[in-house]
Amino acid sequence: MNKIYNKYTFTALLNLCLCIISYSQELPIKINGISIVSPPDSIIQNPFEEIKSLGANWTCIIPYRECKAPNFHIATEDVFSWWGLSITGIETSIQMAKKSGLKILLKPQLYLQNSWPGVINFKTEREWNEWEVEYTQFILTFLGLAIKHDVEIFCIGTEIKNSIAERQDYWVELIESMRHIYKGKIVYSANWDAYENVKFWNKLDYIGVSSYFPLSEDKNADVQILKESWMQIVRKLKRFSYRKGMKVLFTEYGYLSVDHTAYRHWEHEDNIYNLAINESAQANALDAFYSTWMKESIWAGGFLWKWYPDRKGHQGYFEKDYTPQGKKAEEVIKKWFAK
């Protein structure tokens, strides 16, 4: 009798353990993050309370520094004189986010006027070395803030396509030197079409991707069509994630509130004034995004682009911008983050 009892007790406990393991695999805690735009003027009210109220548990703070062609020199100070891009502004933002109970991705980025960091390139070893000295100083400046304020994740670079392809030794050395002084997690943000070209993912903690995959040319694609478009991308990223033994973190994702929003976003930005406002298209795109990714165990989560602390856009087209503030998309985000 005892043997039978022990047998069934063991079986029941085993099944319970398997259920617990299965449940934890199906429902991992996602990084529900929102990227905040650094404001020109000092913040009066804590904007991270509003972000927290959406159900977010993380935020991304982005210190920009200008990188100017043709030599791609990196400015050591904010050339725009924005409070939010100053060291004081960045530190204050970190402290406010922490006070609101949010974890932080600190993501220093290079700003190239009318361009992007993927174009940075040099012909000679000397030129590369000179630029890398400047870039290292740029990164270490903000890494110091990450260390000082116990920032949880630090991004070493965003979409620096040619440097990543040609200067792997530099990046590996930079990461390894950071490991000695920074105890948080480290990520690189690859463009959606270039993550397979990064050869040092094993030195990092996540496969970081700027997730702007073109999905549908439709003016107002419905959720089901967009979910079907995602499936091939999901399968490809799954295979890549399994090969690397790492989770995928979308360091950036989002949609403009305009017609055709789920297609080539960079073209929409160039043509923004000719596009019609379409809040439904933005809401559908985000609903399909979360429907697809929230259930995937290889997806660590991501950071929505973007949120204005003063609810004012700096580009001059707030009603068409990526922000979901005051739009149909805001309710979609609340729904999914609550899950």
Span 241-255, pLDDT tens digits: 999 999 999 999 999
Rounded mean pLDDT of 154-166? 96
Q: Over pLDDT 90: what percentage of the chain?
A: 84
Domain membership flag for residue 70: yes
Residue 27 has pLDDT above 60, yes or no: no
Residue 258 resides in a domain: yes
pLDDT greater than 60 at residue 115? yes
Which of 226, 237, 232 lies closest to 201 in space, CA to CA?
237
Q: Counting every residue, how long is the chain?
A: 339
Residue 13 included in any domain? no
CB of 252 within 8 A of CB of 303? yes
Kindly tell me if the per-residue pLDDT of 26 is higher than 60: no
> 3 lies in a domain?
no
* CATH code for position 129: 3.20.20.80
For tokens 């960079």, name the residue. 266
Per the structure, the complete domain to which residue 140 belongs is given by 30-338
> Residue 72 falls within a domain, yes or no?
yes
Tens digit of each residue's pLDDT (9 = 90 or more) over 79-89:
889 999 999 99
* Residue 24 included in any domain: no
At residue 339, the pLDDT reads 84
Predicted pLDDT at 28: 65
- Mean pLDDT score of the chain: 91
**Angle, vertex CA 139, rays to CA 178 and CA 104, nearest 5:** 80
Give residue 114's pLDDT.
Answer: 87
Domain assignment of residue 269, yes or no: yes
Backbone φ and ψ of 206, nearest 5°: -140, 160
Instruction: Note the pLDDT tens digit of each residue in 305-322.
Output: 999 998 777 778 899 999
pLDDT tens-digit readout, 259-275: 999 999 889 988 999 99
pTM: 0.90
Q: CA nearest 216: which of 262, 259, 254?
A: 262
pLDDT at residue 23 above 80? no
Number of structural domains (the chain) is 1
